[in-house]
Amino acid sequence: MKTTLACLLLLAISVTLSDAYCFFERFKPAISDGVVIGCLDLKGVAHKFGSWKTEDCHDCSCDKSGIQCCSSYASPSGYDEEKCESIFNKETCTYKVVEKNDHSKECPVEGWVGK
């Protein structure tokens, strides 16, 4: 019983600390040869039903209700912003916190927000 309560408490805390963001686009059908094959996004790009990752590091999915996308990365918080800076790597969808004057030296980070 105590283990179950501890797990539920841990889950509740982790959900409230999460700061990932999501957005939703209403369903606009993508049609090929008269058949609905997926969704059109706001830019008019067709996506087949299912999931994909964008070049901006969002996890997206398309179904008959529309397109839902959520951030797929965590942002650093609680580091020395005078001495350090965060650098986002679009290839890996991750941040690295390094000294401003020497990018080879990583800085300590107190927490990560998101995902």
Spell out the per-residue pLDDT of the chain, length 115, in tens.
554 444 333 434 333 344 568 999 999 999 999 999 999 999 999 999 999 999 999 999 999 999 999 999 999 999 999 999 999 999 999 999 999 999 999 999 999 987 6
Q: What residues have CB less than 8 Å from 109, skipping those under 6 apart? A: 76, 77, 78, 79, 97
Element at 2 (helix H, strand E): helix 2-17
Give strand pairing partners of 52. Answer: 60
Domains detected in the chain: 18-71 (2.10.70.10), 76-114 (2.20.25.590)
Q: What pTM does this model have?
A: 0.65
